[in-house]
Structures are given as structure tokens and as C-alpha cells.
Amino acid sequence: MGYLKNKQIEYQERGYSSIDSIICTSCVGDHAIKSFIRNIGTKNKCDYCSKIRKCCKLEDLIGHIVESIRFEFEDATGCMHWEGKEGGFIGARTYDNYNMVFDKLSPEMGIEDEAVLTDIYKTLNDSIEWCDKDPYALRIHEEDYIEWKQFCKSAKSPTSSFEDIALKSQILYKITEHFQELGLIKNINKDTGFYRSVIHDKAENVDSAKRIGSAPVKYAAANRMSRKGVSMFYGAEDIETTLKEIGAKPSDTVTSAKFYPSERIKVLDLTQLDSIEFPSLFDPTKRHLRSPLIFMRNFATDVSKKCNGKPIQYLPTQIFTEHIRNFYKEFKLSGIIYNSSLVKGKKCCVLFFNNEHCIECNSNLKNALYMDKASLKNIN
């Protein structure tokens, strides 16, 4: 077999042909592609912007791009139904190389230069028509979300015990796995406090940790993360948010105070999901987190949602809390931080400290929340 024939077979198999140009780090926006060029490149004059920068062969970069595309897309030939007589591939979306490069990849790669995009497009194997990986199935994050919604529905009309559902629902294990992958377990240091407010009669003098802290068991109503009769500390990062969260009216008499953990604690911080940068498709170490991140952002929005005062609406999040407390038993998870549904951008918390754990001063007690007496504030 001749050299040219061999080359043709090689190009066919790898999905792209050959090109001589070199490209620099400044011609791409995506940080993972920049790193790729930086790692294999040498200082040279870029063929596209003429700057002297770290450059690599565009052909090598296209190899990396094709490998990355294959993480979320595949060749429609062989996995999709084909209908002749102008029917084409049927039943799911497909993308030709032009759509793939100019519409789908260009924003992800952060490449705007038409000359670069055209060279990538022309080098790709033009016989390939792309489709989403596993084109007739839902995306993984869509499947996960449907599973979570089904869980929520069944949690509201339970056929087995609360503890049983918490232990046996597979979606809850999937969610805890995502916490770990996405690094959502955080330390809260002793100097980070949370406010709590209580509405009371004007005549009552409210100034003790036991009165302002977690509600005693006999008064603990069903709440977002806890069942009726389970005492937990619900607080927020500022007084204004606590007032909104407890539904205080301007005419109400309210006392607020700030509580601090007596030692460093570990919490599940769902608010971190907002600040995690969406992983690049071109980053082989992080791109597997793209799907979990989309799902977990939807999940965190659901967890924060206001439930119009109907206790049954809180059953899914109560079971979820039971699950993670049990799952992280040895790990000693002490609470959950989530976004307030009433004050945009503010954090709320539920800490697994009951009324007994709320104390007046920072003694050497462990596993406690102490009230900062100086923070006591009476409104009205």
C-alpha cells in the first residue's frame, strides 16, 4: 500500500488530516486550551496573530479538540437510524463539522478568529456527522434531575418509613457523591457566626441563648431540613435575612443574636455551587464534572425554594438531611449552608445543634453554639 493511501487511512481513523500552521496561547480564550499549548509549545511567531508567544502545531491542538469532542459527542454513523431518500439521520440532533466548529465549539474554545476556525473546520474529517453521545437517551444531568423529582414525589406520599427512604433512595447516594466530587464540604471556623432572630411578646425579656437559639424539641415545628420535634439551629449571615426568613412584620417585637461554633465544624456548603467555574470540555481532569455541576445547581435551587408554609413540601429536604447526617456520621457533618430564597445573594444555614447545644459563653465545651452577648439586638 502506498504512503499516501496509508496517510489517508490514518487521517480517517483519527478524524482529522494534516495542517502546517502554528497557533499561540493568545489566539485562544479557554484556559485548558491555553494550558495545552503552553505545555507542549515553544516560543515562536504565531501564524494567526504574528505575536511571539508559546505556540504549538495547530494539528496537535486539533488532535486535543477531537479527543475532547468525543467526550460529549460521537459519530452519528453507526449509532443513529438513517433513513434514505433525504430523510438523513433521524430521532436526535446532529451537527456537521461547520456547526460543530463555528456554533458549538467556538464559544467554548474562546476562539473568534475566522481564519483559525476555518483551518480547524477544514482539517476535520468531513465525512463525520456528530451527534450527542448516546443520542436517544437523556443527558446524564437530565436523568439525575428526573430521578430527584421522582424521589420528591414519592417522599411526599411515603409507602415506607422516613429512615428507610433516607437509606434506600439511590439518588441521595448519587447526590452525596457529587458533593465530594465538587468539593462542597467546607470547614467553618470558630470566628464565623450566624444570626438568629425570634419574634416574641413585647413584655418578654429575651436575652438567653436557650430562648434565641434552636427551638426546644416541644416547640420545634416541621421545617425545611427537620421534622416536627427535631431541634436544629436555623440562622442566616445577617439580621435582615433572618427577619425575612422568619416572616417578621414591621410591627413584631424581635430579638436577634449571633451564634458561633465552639470549635471548627464541617458543613455542606451548597452556596459554593454558584462560584464553581463551569469546567472546560478541553480539560481532561475536570470535564467529567460538567454534568454533576448542572444537576447540582438545579438541585440546590430546589432545596432553597420557599414552600408556602406547607410542611409536606419539606419532606424531600428533611429526608435528604437525614440521609446526609447518616452518611457522614463518622465524618461529623454539622450542617448545611444554602441560599436564601427570600433575600438574593444571602446565605442561610441549618446547623445540627439542638436547644441544649446553644450556650451562653464560650467555655471549653465542645459540640456547642455559643451566643455572643454583645450582638444581642432588640427590634421594637
Could you tell me which stretch among 20-28, 214-222, 260-268, 309-317 binds Zn ion (CB under 5 A)?
Answer: 20-28
Closest residue to Zn ion in the complex (CB): 46
Could you tell me which stretch among 19-27, 213-221, 240-248, 262-270 binds Zn ion (CB under 5 A)?
Answer: 19-27
Q: For Zn ion, which is the closer residue by CB, 45 or 288?
A: 45
Task: Choose which of 32, 33, 37, 46 interacts with Zn ion (CB under 5 A).
Answer: 46
Q: For Zn ion, which is the closer residue by CB, 48 or 338?
A: 48
Helices marked H in 259-333 — which ranges? 290-304, 315-327
Q: For Zn ion, which is the closer residue by CB, 21 or 26?
A: 26
Q: Which three cell numbers stand for residue 267?
A: 458543613
The total number of residues shown for the chain amounts to: 380
Q: For Zn ion, which is the closer residue by CB, 50 or 251?
A: 50
Task: Choose which of 24, 100, 131, 273 interacts with Zn ion (CB under 5 A).
Answer: 24
Minimum distance, C-beta of residue 27 to Zn ion, in the bound complex (Å): 3
- In 1-133, where do the E strands start and end? 22-24, 42-45, 52-57, 73-75, 81-83, 88-90, 94-95, 130-132
Could you tell me which stretch among 18-26, 87-95, 318-326, 362-370 binds Zn ion (CB under 5 A)?
Answer: 18-26
Task: Choose which of 16, 36, 48, 95 interacts with Zn ion (CB under 5 A).
Answer: 48
- Whether the CB-CB separation of 350 and 232 falls below 8 Å is answered with yes
3-state percent breakdown (helix, strand, coil) of the chain, nearest 5: 40, 20, 35
Using the structure block, give the residue that is written with the C-alpha cell 452519528.
Answer: 76
Q: For Zn ion, which is the closer residue by CB, 34 or 290?
A: 34
Q: For Zn ion, which is the closer residue by CB, 101 or 236?
A: 101
Largest CA distance in the chain: 98
- Interaction of residue 28 with Zn ion, rule CB under 5 A: no
- Whether the CB-CB separation of 371 and 257 falls below 8 Å is answered with yes
Task: Choose which of 19, 40, 49, 140 interacts with Zn ion (CB under 5 A).
Answer: 49
- The amino acid present at 317, given as its one-letter code, is T
Q: For Zn ion, which is the closer residue by CB, 49 or 152?
A: 49
Task: Choose which of 22, 27, 124, 303 interacts with Zn ion (CB under 5 A).
Answer: 27
Interatomic CA distance for residues 196 and 358, integer angstroms: 12
Between CA 274 and CA 281, with CA 275 as vertex, the angle to 5 degrees is 95
Interatomic CA distance for residues 18 and 28, integer angstroms: 20
Chain positions contacting Zn ion, by CB under 5 A: 24, 26-27, 46, 48-49
